[in-house]
Structure 1
Amino acid sequence: MEIPKGRVQTISKSEEVHLKQLWAHLFQHWGIPVNSEIVLTNNAIVAESTNGSKTDASSESSNNKGSSSKNSKKPGKLFGRFRKATSGSKDSKDSNDRARTGSVTSRRSAEDIEHMYPPGMIHEALKDLKAEEVSENFWEMLRTDYPDNLILRFLRARKWDTDKALGMIAHTLHWRLTEGHPDAIIRGGELAAYQNKETGLIKNIELSKASLHAFDLKSRPVVLVRPKLHHSSDQTEAEMKKYCLLIIEQARMFLKEPVDSATILFDLTGFSMSNMDYSPVQYLISCFEAHYPECLGHLFIHKAPWIFPPIWNIIKNWLDPVVASKIVFTKSTDDLAKYLPMKSIPKYLGGEDDYDFDSFKKPDESADIKLKDTETREAIQKDRKVIIQKFIDATKNWIESPDDKTSKKWLDAKISISKELTENYRKLDPYVRSRSIYDINGTLKV
Structure 2
Amino acid sequence: MSVEVAKGRVQTLTQDEELHLKQVWAYLFQHWGVQVNSASVFASETAGSGQSGSSGGNKNAEEKPAKKSGKLFGRFRKSSSNSSAAKSSRESNGAVPASSQRSTEPSEGARSHGTVHEALKNLKPDEISENFWDMLRSDYPDNLILRFLRARKWDTDKALGMIAHTLEWRLKEGHPDSIIRGGEQAAYQNNETGYIKNLELSKATQRGFDLHGRPIVLVRPRLHHSSDQTEEEMKKYCLLIIEQARMFLKEPVDSATILFDLTGFSMSNMDYTPVQYLISCFEAHYPECLGHLFIHKAPWIFPPIWNIIKNWLDPVVASKIVFTKNASDLAKYVPMKYIPSYLGGEDEYDFDSFKRPDESADVKLKDTKTRDSILEKRKSIIQQFIDSTKNWIESQNDEESKKWLETKISISKELSENYRELDPYIRSRSVYDINGTLKV
The verdict on a shared fold, with TM-score over 0.5 as the criterion, is: yes
**Does structure 1 residue 33 correspond to structure 2 residue 35?**
yes
| Paired AA for residue 17 in structure 2 | E
Structure 1 counterpart of 2:104: 118
Structure 1 counterpart of 2:259: 265
Aligned equivalents of 1:330, 1:128: Cα separation in 2: 46
Q: Structure 1 or 2: larger helix share?
A: 1
Measured at CA, do residues 319 and 184 of structure 1 come closer, stay the same or move farther in structure 2, by a change above 3 Å?
same
Counterpart of 1:244 (choices 235, 238, 242) is 238
Q: Is the 8 A contact 2:184 2:430 kept in 1?
A: yes
Aligned equivalents of 1:24, 1:125: Cα separation in 2: 13
Aligned equivalents of 1:417, 1:430: Cα separation in 2: 22
**Does structure 1 residue 332 correspond to structure 2 residue 334?**
no
Percentage of pairs with the same residue: 74
TM superposition score normalised by structure 2: 0.87
Counterpart of 1:174 (choices 168, 179, 204) is 168
Counterpart of 2:282 (choices 288, 302, 306) is 288
| Paired AA for residue 58 in structure 1 | G
Deviations 1:333-387 (A, max 9, x none): 1000000000010000000000110000001110000000000000000000000
| Paired AA for residue 394 in structure 1 | S
Structure 2: tracts of 5 or more residues without a match: 66-93, 108-115
Aligned equivalents of 1:125, 1:42: Cα separation in 2: 22
**Higher RCO (Cα < 8 Å, 6 or more apart):** 2
Cα drift, residue 213 of structure 1: 1.4
Cα drift, residue 2 of structure 1: 1.0
Aligned equivalents of 2:341, 2:314: Cα separation in 1: 33
Measured at CA, do residues 165 and 125 of structure 1 come closer, stay the same or move farther in structure 2, by a change above 3 Å?
closer
TM superposition score normalised by structure 1: 0.86
Q: How much is the aligned-residue C-alpha RMSD, in angstroms?
A: 2.3
Counterpart of 2:10 (choices 5, 8, 20) is 8
5 Å-filtered alignment, 1:32-431, equals 32-42=34-44, 45=46, 58-60=50-52, 62-64=53-55, 67=56, 81=57, 109-110=95-96, 112=98, 116-118=102-104, 129-431=123-425
Aligned equivalents of 2:437, 2:105: Cα separation in 1: 43
| Paired AA for residue 389 in structure 2 | T
Q: Is the 8 A contact 1:125 1:174 kept in 2?
A: no
Deviations 1:182-218 (A, max 9, x none): 0000000000000000000000000000000110000
Cα drift, residue 110 of structure 1: 1.2
Q: Is the 8 A contact 2:297 2:325 kept in 1?
A: yes
Aligned equivalents of 1:156, 1:174: Cα separation in 2: 20
Aligned equivalents of 1:160, 1:259: Cα separation in 2: 20
Cα drift, residue 130 of structure 1: 2.0
| Paired AA for residue 25 in structure 2 | W
How many residue pairs match? The answer is 402
Deviations 1:270-325 (A, max 9, x none): 00000000000000000000000000000000000000000000000000001000
Q: Is the 8 A contact 1:185 1:242 kept in 2?
A: yes
Measured at CA, do residues 435 and 158 of structure 1 come closer, stay the same or move farther in structure 2, by a change above 3 Å?
same
Aligned equivalents of 1:230, 1:115: Cα separation in 2: 31
Aligned equivalents of 2:221, 2:359: Cα separation in 1: 30
| Paired AA for residue 354 in structure 1 | E
Deviations 1:385-427 (A, max 9, x none): 0000000000000000000000000000000000000000000
Aligned equivalents of 1:258, 1:132: Cα separation in 2: 30
